[in-house]
Amino acid sequence: MSTLPYNHLIAVPAGGPPDDVEAAHDEHRNPGTALDLDWVESVRVNRSAVERRAGSLSGRRTVKKQWQAAWLLRAITLMDLTTLSGDDTAGNVRRLCAKARHPVRPELLRALGVEHLPIHTAAVCVYHALVPTAVEALEGSGIPVAAVSTGFPSGLSPMEQRIQEIHASVNAGAREIDIVITRGHVLTGNWQALYDEVKAFRQACGPAHLKAILGTGELATLRNVGRASMVAMMAGADFIKTSTGKETENATLPVGLVMARAIREYRERSGHVVGFKPAGGIKTAKQALDWMLMMKEELGPDYVRPDLFRFGASSLLNDIERQLDHHVNGRYAAGYRQPMA
Ligand SMILES: O=C[C@H](O)COP(=O)(O)O
């Protein structure tokens, strides 16, 4: 197998050691803008055009074979490796963190010629109760812990409690907070309430980055997805994120396209940069490549870097490792070889 120019293709944050990861992490903050209701109301979505474009992406063969391994290694560096189950334990989370530090088996990395690169996931995402365990298990790695917060997944607990949750997770060491919005504010067109809510969450986060989960599968229309994206960004969300992973419909390419274009429009009009995180139901290497291609085409190469793009995924890493195995060995490894994630 020929050696590929992985150094150019793999977005290991800043290409370097943990300190650089932290620098990359702090690079982008979105200060937000005033709520501009005319702008929000002007958001339109041409559903059939969006579906056509999304269909053309998933129908294509995304990346040629010889580049696929490099793109898949990059996908790993974009991943918020996640566990959000009722039966999560400290033991599971420690194993997940070990996987986040070393997501690919050393013999595969050697065979790919990238054993010298510090490949790890972008973050580990857990419930608040597991934040201290994850922080401890990731110490010294530079990998941030993300906590789902604010009454995840419904977001319907009392406001004061939701704010306290953010404070508790930040105090426990979470550097990223994935909040959920009140979907009802979108469904009733109460943009002021949505803006105030996200702004209060952003303030509670302090230095931690805020990712706003829109719960797109519960927003009824793509137009609502576009408008909610815009309001969340105006309120200061550092990332907008599709789903909790618990809705019936989670991250889809049409929804992703609408959100990516909202990010582009917000950037053009405000000059502020916002990241994007599709989450829920992204399980295969092929899906990951479709998403990465879409981001690169819609928003440029910065959007296949971990400071601006994340996959929220609990099982994607498994399939990526399988595909890398296939690339190296010409066959698929048995499932038990990738016991985690
Ligand atoms: O935020 C991440 C999602 O909850 C993960 O969803 P998943 O289990 O479908 O990969």
- pLDDT tens digits for range 229-280: 999 999 999 999 999 999 999 999 999 999 999 999 999 999 999 999 999 9
Q: Which atom of ligand 1 is nearest to the CA of 316?
A: 10
Q: For the full predicted model, state whether its pTM sits above 0.90.
A: yes
Is residue 82 within 6 Å of ligand 1 at its C-beta? yes
The DSSP letter of residue 239 is: E
pLDDT band at 33 (very low <50, low <70, confident <90, very high): very high
Q: Are 169 and 137 in contact (CB under 8 A)?
A: no
Mutate to test the pocket of ligand 1, among 243, 249, 317, 340 (most ligand atoms within 8 A of CB): 243
Q: Ligand 1 centroid to 22 CA: how many Å? A: 24
Residue 251 covered by a domain: yes
Domain of 333: which CATH number? 3.20.20.70
Burial class, 91, CB count within 10 angstroms (exposed 0-12 / middle 13-18 / buried 19+): exposed
Residue 259 covered by a domain: yes
Q: Which atom of ligand 1 is nearest to the CA of 250?
A: 9
Active site residue 178: yes
Question: Phi then psi for 81, rounded to 5 degrees?
Answer: -70, 120
Structural domain total, the chain: 1
Residue 135 covered by a domain: yes
Whether the per-residue pLDDT at 15 is higher than 50: the answer is no
Q: Which atom of ligand 1 is nearest to the CA of 277?
A: 1
- Residue nearest (by alpha carbon) to ligand 1 atom 10: 313
Residue 1 covered by a domain: no
Q: What span, in angstroms and rounded, lies between the C-alpha atoms of 124 and 135?
A: 9
Active site residue 277: yes
Question: Phi then psi for 127, rounded to 5 degrees?
Answer: -70, 160
Q: What span, in angstroms and rounded, lies between the C-alpha atoms of 42 and 51?
A: 20
Domain interval for residue 143: 6-337
Q: Ligand 1 centroid to 278 CA: how many Å? A: 9
pLDDT band at 331 (very low <50, low <70, confident <90, very high): confident
Distances (CA, A) of 76 to 108, 202, 242, 329: 14, 27, 19, 19
Q: What span, in angstroms and rounded, lies between the C-alpha atoms of 217 and 280?
A: 10
Question: Quick check: helix, strand or coil at residue 313?
Answer: strand
Average model confidence (pLDDT) across the chain: 91
- Residue nearest (by alpha carbon) to ligand 1 atom 2: 312
Q: What span, in angstroms and rounded, lies between the C-alpha atoms of 50 and 153?
A: 27
